Amino acid sequence: MTVLHAPGARGAARLTAAVLGTLLAGVTACSPATSGSDTGSAETVATGLDVPWSIAFLDGTPLISARDSGQILELTGGEPRVIGTVDGVEPGGESGLLGLATHRDGLYVYSTGADGNRIQRFAVDGRPGSLSLGTADTIIDRLPSAAYHSGGRIAFGPDGMLYATVGDAGVSEDAQNLDTPAGSILRLTPDGDVPADNPFDGSPIYSYGHRNPQGIAWAADGTMFASEFGQDTWDELNVIEPGGNYGWPEVEGIAGDDRFVDPVQQWRPDEASPSGIEIADGTIHIANLRGEVLRTVPVADPTDPSSSEELLEGEYGRLRDVARTPDGELWVLTSNTDGRGSPADGDDRLLRLPG
């Protein structure tokens, strides 16, 4: 496939509330306001976001995906602005414009089209403050999609490969079928080819037996972690092994079954519903939707549930994604405007955790 580059110089820029103006209609930039929680604090950077889903940084420039509108937003160099709309996005339930990831070849975008989920690579033109979404190259398409369990997270690993989470799309038995990518984590080259050292010959599947994984991140030693939505019993944090079978729908949570890889931690769904994750300074940070917390787990001892902490508990409603900025801050996206947040949760916003 043609390799697309993101031309134009882009200087790394640190966002402050002072440079944030209006983000589409109704988006309000806010002066930093620290919450008064005993379980953590955050500064509100911007409010009024419309179902934000993912944060990524393109040469230091922050980008946010908007699930239902299909728009990608630039947050730097003055007023936040739309850099483009991904063609053919068909939102519905948990589907739409989902994960973002950046690479020297351009911006990678996971979205739902007419024929299922797909990953596309876009050129991005211009400089910060005037970026423009360019032409697209489809990396992989026809991935299972549905109103529920639609996966959606993408990230580049320390090996330079592209990883993508795929939900079971509501057909639970497909997660045990290696002839379909449903209920799996995929591993691809940046051009969409299957790496020669993948665990299953000729297949993009890296691990399987997942229900709806929505977060992936790597520790400094290369250990890969993934968050996963359970059904009624347990949500999970998993260490991902190449070729590993994580048990869905045969088991949920820690089962002690030698056929499957057990999670290192598990939580009741009403306390968790884990989506995006980030690892910073030896700590796994997990954005939780129903649980309305940013949960932390130490990389050094991820199996000890007593070592985890809950930040921002109940302060900002549902939390969708967490990402580390180029200068080391943690940013968090809320998810209260997707029809599942309560009126008390308010609108969606971008938060900054003090360093």
Residue 89 backbone dihedrals phi, psi, to 5 degrees: -70, 130
- Give me the pLDDT at residue 48, please: 78
Domain contains 89: no
Domain contains 136: no
Domain contains 152: yes
R_g of the chain, CA atoms, integer Å? 19
Domain contains 7: no
pLDDT > 50? residue 27? no
Query: Who contacts 214 (Cβ-Cβ below 8 Å, separation ≥6)?
Result: 151, 152, 153, 165, 227, 228, 229, 274, 275, 276
3-class state of residue 279 by DSSP: strand
Query: pLDDT digits over 293-307, tens only?
Result: 999 999 999 999 999
Task: Find which of 3-7, 12-16, 44-48, 129-133 is predicted with most confidence, using mean pLDDT.
Answer: 129-133
pLDDT > 50? residue 14? no
Query: pLDDT digits over 36-75, tens only?
Result: 333 457 998 877 789 999 999 999 999 999 999 999 999 8
Cα(89)–Cα(69) distance, rounded to whole angstroms?
Answer: 8
Domain contains 33: yes
Q: How does DSSP classify residue 325?
A: -
Domain contains 1: no
* Average pLDDT of the segment spanning 256-268: 98
* Average pLDDT of the segment spanning 175-189: 98
Cα(312)–Cα(38) distance, rounded to whole angstroms?
Answer: 9
- Give me the pLDDT at residue 34, please: 41
Tell me if 96 sits within 8 A of 67, measured CB to CB.
Answer: yes
Domain contains 82: no
Total H helices, total E strands in the chain: 0, 25
pLDDT > 70? residue 200? yes
Q: In CATH, what number is assigned to the domain containing residue 36?
A: 2.120.10.30
- Which residues sit opposite 217 in a β-bridge? 225
- Give me the pLDDT at residue 132, please: 97
- Give me the pLDDT at residue 255, please: 97
Could you list the residue range(s) of the whole structural domain that residue 43 is in?
A: 19-51+144-353
Tell me if 89 sits within 8 A of 110, measured CB to CB.
Answer: no
Output the average pLDDT for the chain.
88
- Give me the pLDDT at residue 40, please: 55
* Average pLDDT of the segment spanning 184-207: 98
Domain contains 116: no
pLDDT > 90? residue 102? yes
**Which pair of structure tokens corresponds to residue 9?**
């110089």
- Give me the pLDDT at residue 36, please: 35
Least-confidence region, from 1-10, 199-208, 260-269, 322-331: 1-10
**Which pair of structure tokens corresponds to residue 251?**
């088991």
* Average pLDDT of the segment spanning 151-173: 98
pLDDT band at 355 (very low <50, low <70, confident <90, very high): low
pLDDT band at 25 (very low <50, low <70, confident <90, very high): very low
- Domain count for the chain, please give it: 1
Look up the pTM and report it.
Answer: 0.90
Cα(329)–Cα(233) distance, rounded to whole angstroms?
Answer: 34
* Average pLDDT of the segment spanning 86-108: 97
Closest CA to 112 of 136, 94, 124: 94
